[in-house]
Structure 1
Amino acid sequence: MTIDLLAAATATFDPDAATRAYLATLQGAARARSDAYFEGGYWIALWDGLVAALAYWLMLHLGWSAKWSAWASRVTRRPALQAGLYAIPFSVVGALLLLPWGAYTGYFREHQYSMSNQTFPAWLGELAIGAGVNLVFMFVLFAIVFAVIRKAPRTWWLWATGTIVALMVFLVMLSPLFVEPLFNKYTPMKDGPVKAEILRIAHEQEIPTNDVYVVDASRQTKRISANVAGLGPTIRIALNDNLLNRSNLAGIKSVMGHEMGHYKLHHVWKLIGYFSLIALLAAALLKWGAPPLLARYGDRWKVKSVSDPAVAPLFGLLIALYLIPADIAFNSVIRHHESEADAFGLEAAREPDGFAMTAMQLSEYRKIEPGKWEEILFYDHPSGRTRVQMAMDWKAKHLKELPVDQQRAFVMTADQPAK
């Protein structure tokens, strides 16, 4: 369906008027639902941290953590294996305690706002797979981190940070090969004009790839999406089938140009750098925050020291509370990267209306016009209004360079698959 409200091409293109015309396509109940869904997420981010903190407090208060540590000590005398074994009940019970809240946020609320395509058994199955992956990761993490704490009692927080960052890099590198395929099927895109255009843009940007992957995300969600995953030889640029089925060629090109921007601008490595700083501050909090709490409550919890794996729920509680403000700060970092990728994608794909159309599709579940501080505090991507305005400003600047059919003041094409 093509809507052409201001049909004639004009040398006096008004980017503000064009932006308002795009925003006007999301009105009434659809806009109210989008605003309510996204605004509810502000509180969910807070409650995520509080619910996790409560779960960790229960593990300490009820004595479970001390019992798990004692059990691991009976099974083996090797301290590294003791920490790894402790991670098993810690992870399993933690997942069960968080299950009701996770079911509400990840399943029932998604269906309430018509965002999910999954049945509850399918959702629960994927949750179990994720819990299994997490269990393996936590076994390795606990074995290494608590070995570091024992070997370097004064500087363990520095070495633990390095360990966590190294494991994260390893996981990011292997995720496209071993983790993501557990949840979705990635298939090479069939030859055709869409693939040809994506590869043309990629080669113009000197991105060494001859493949484009499509992920069957419609099994789970109605969201449109694309991503850059992996590091080095495992980097993969993919788009989901919702994007392929709902967007035209211009929209797909704009999204893929954006994703190529993440690759060219080295955002994955930059985010790892920012994560390293957040991890370092978290480790410092544990180094200086945990011992006073153990001195006061350790006997009650039957937790001896920070080298005892039973201290893990205390670590988890402190980190859960720390991440509430840290996530707000990290949102601004990610939003800056997303804005950079937006600008790159506009230059690479040269499809401002395709970009604006996609921004409007994303606004079906992201509040489109937040207040200034609302966007700063809660958005990890630029708002729909910000993105449409950027696209229309770019279009005004480059209007004479665009083909005649792109020079119209307002064009929106939606729900037309690019076959």
Structure 2
Amino acid sequence: MSLMLAAASAAQGFDVEAATRAYLDTLQGAARAKSDAYFEGGYWLPLWGALVGIISYWIMLRFRWSAKWSGWADRVTKRKWLQPMLYALPFTLIGALLTLPWSLYTDYFREHQYGMSNQNLAEWFKEFGIMLGVGIVTTAIFLAIIYAVIRKSPKRWWLWGTVATAVLSAIMILVAPVFIEPLLNKYTPMQAGPVRDEILRIAHEQKIPTNDVYVVDASKQTKRISANVAGIGPTIRIALNDNLLNRSNLAGIKAVMGHEMGHYKLHHIQKLLAYLTILSLIGFLITYWVVPKLLARHGEQWGVREVSDPGSAPVFMIVLAILGVPGGILFNSVIRHHESEADAFGLEAAREPDGFAMTAMQLSEYRKIEPAAWEELLFYDHPSGRTRVHMAMEWKAKHLDELPPEQRKIMVMTPEMKAN
């Protein structure tokens, strides 16, 4: 393996700060400015996105579109459980069209502006249409259940709505790897070889019950590297995207996969589901209190007077969009904590500190690498590049005697350095 060595050596003692700085200094000049600008520009996207959503839902209410859609569903069928499902069709479709300019800016034009997307506009619209279809189906199911709960338990629907949301979220986690994700990308079994062998070796050491590794053709969409251990029970699947496979070396791939296995072994999916359930409970309690008051004040103008009327859906969504801004900051902190736990797990599982640091630098191509403490607290759902590289170098310092002699020096491993 070719190595770029810094001045200090193991004989002089391993300097964690110097090693960290050696990595951080590989991102400089225009590349660093671009990364900082991209990420800092995203600080306000959740707020503006919430505002765009609120405006679109307000339009549905202001022009009585929502009431008309509910009336149409009532004329088509008298089955109360089916009416919200019919309502979901125009509600989801028109909602997507109203917010389409914003989606185009955030997901297509801005990504191309910073060189993060590989899609042309036709390809983007194809995927937009696929996910719109998925959204119509999932929204129809969700609204049918929520409004059935509201009708059956007017005083406790906030509680049963939370339970229903938790169950539906668990089902989505279970079925998404098998039925939804393949709609956008092709999952191909990884060919036999050293990379696959090492991934499965680590997986079996960690007692992850799978013998399959898949490669995802994410390069048709983005330049980002990614991997996951997704699913629950029979749908567990180890996958890495082709960007990671093509841009990294064996050490980097092992580091990433060790991290992703950490999410599985530390039960982060189940914990996130629990956190989402708590946030849903808070959200439903607030909407239980706020939505009737809004309908009492504005319902006649909107043509929607009852909470049990599917036409009230935009009112719910406005309240939830407002709550989603602080809720998102809180949830980011939870995810960031989980990511840090998975980082520590991955370092122990893969034992590739320089591979881990290299990957942290790759991720810093689109995440500000050295944010202020308040920035990382408010806007990061992953630890910053500096935090991750420093963790890797601290781990290396503690385990220096266990590493091969050539890895005990302060060095900087780049993605182009392929393992022999």
TM range (shorter): over 0.9
Counterpart of 1:383?
A: 384
Task: Tell me how far apart the structure 1 counterparts of residues 417 and 288 of structure 2 sit (CA, whole Å).
Answer: 55
Verify the 8 A CA contact 2:8 2:14 in the aligned structure 1: no
Counterpart of 1:289?
A: 290
Verify the 8 A CA contact 1:244 1:418 in the aligned structure 2: no
Q: CA deviation at 1:6?
A: 3.2
1:68 and 2:69 are equivalent in the alignment: yes
Compute the TM-score of the two structures, normalised by the length of structure 1: 0.98
The letter of the residue matching 2:320 is I
Q: CA deviation at 1:222?
A: 0.2
The letter of the residue matching 1:26 is L
Counterpart of 2:274?
A: 273
Verify the 8 A CA contact 1:35 1:368 in the aligned structure 2: yes
Deviation digits for residues 39-98 of structure 1 (CA, Å, limit 9, x no counterpart): 111111111111111111110011100000000010000111111101110000000001
Verify the 8 A CA contact 2:130 2:183 in the aligned structure 1: yes
Counterpart of 1:100?
A: 101
Task: Tell me how far apart the structure 1 counterparts of residues 162 and 106 of structure 2 sit (CA, whole Å).
Answer: 30
SS of the residue aligned with 1:38?
helix
SS of the residue aligned with 2:99?
helix
Counterpart of 2:204?
A: 203
1:311 and 2:312 are equivalent in the alignment: yes
Counterpart of 2:215?
A: 214
1:355-374 paired onto structure 2 within 5 Å:
355-374=356-375
1:15-414 paired onto structure 2 within 5 Å:
15-414=16-415
Verify the 8 A CA contact 2:210 2:236 in the aligned structure 1: no
Q: CA deviation at 1:210?
A: 1.1
Task: Tell me how far apart the structure 1 counterparts of residues 12 and 397 of structure 2 sit (CA, whole Å).
Answer: 9
Verify the 8 A CA contact 1:246 1:416 in the aligned structure 2: no
Task: Tell me how far apart the structure 2 counterparts of residues 418 and 128 of structure 1 sit (CA, whole Å).
Answer: 41
Q: CA deviation at 1:227?
A: 1.3
The letter of the residue matching 2:82 is L
The letter of the residue matching 1:147 is A
SS of the residue aligned with 2:411?
strand
SS of the residue aligned with 2:126?
helix
The letter of the residue matching 2:307 is V
Deviation digits for residues 339-387 of structure 1 (CA, Å, limit 9, x no counterpart): 0000000000000000000000000000000001110110000000000
Task: Tell me how far apart the structure 2 counterparts of residues 306 and 243 of structure 1 sit (CA, whole Å).
Answer: 48
SS of the residue aligned with 2:82?
helix
Q: Which runs of 5+ in 1 are unaligned?
A: none
Task: Tell me how far apart the structure 1 counterparts of residues 379 and 218 of structure 2 sit (CA, whole Å).
Answer: 25
The letter of the residue matching 1:33 is K
Verify the 8 A CA contact 1:254 1:350 in the aligned structure 2: yes
Q: CA deviation at 1:197?
A: 0.8
Q: CA deviation at 1:209?
A: 1.6
CA RMSD of aligned residues (A): 1.2
CA separation of 1:73 and 1:182: change in aligned 2, threshold 3 A? same
Q: CA deviation at 1:237?
A: 1.7
Q: CA deviation at 1:232?
A: 1.3
CA separation of 1:11 and 1:5: change in aligned 2, threshold 3 A? closer
Verify the 8 A CA contact 1:228 1:238 in the aligned structure 2: yes
Deviation digits for residues 83-130 of structure 1 (CA, Å, limit 9, x no counterpart): 110111000000000100000000000000000000001001001000
Q: CA deviation at 1:418?
A: 6.5
The letter of the residue matching 1:142 is L
The letter of the residue matching 1:349 is A
Task: Tell me how far apart the structure 1 counterparts of residues 13 and 245 of structure 2 sit (CA, whole Å).
Answer: 33
SS of the residue aligned with 1:237?
strand
CA separation of 1:184 and 1:418: change in aligned 2, threshold 3 A? farther
SS of the residue aligned with 1:10?
helix
Task: Tell me how far apart the structure 2 counterparts of residues 17 and 415 of structure 1 sit (CA, whole Å).
Answer: 22
For these two proteins, the number of residue pairs brought into alignment is: 419
Task: Tell me how far apart the structure 2 counterparts of residues 83 and 198 of structure 1 sit (CA, whole Å).
Answer: 46
Q: CA deviation at 1:416?
A: 4.6
SS of the residue aligned with 1:413?
coil
CA separation of 1:130 and 1:298: change in aligned 2, threshold 3 A? same
Task: Tell me how far apart the structure 1 counterparts of residues 260 and 419 of structure 2 sit (CA, whole Å).
Answer: 18
Task: Tell me how far apart the structure 2 counterparts of residues 358 and 403 of structure 1 sit (CA, whole Å).
Answer: 20
Compute the TM-score of the two structures, normalised by the length of structure 2: 0.98
Task: Tell me how far apart the structure 1 counterparts of residues 402 and 171 of structure 2 sit (CA, whole Å).
Answer: 44
Task: Tell me how far apart the structure 2 counterparts of residues 183 and 350 of structure 1 sit (CA, whole Å).
Answer: 33
Task: Tell me how far apart the structure 1 counterparts of residues 170 and 394 of structure 2 sit (CA, whole Å).
Answer: 37
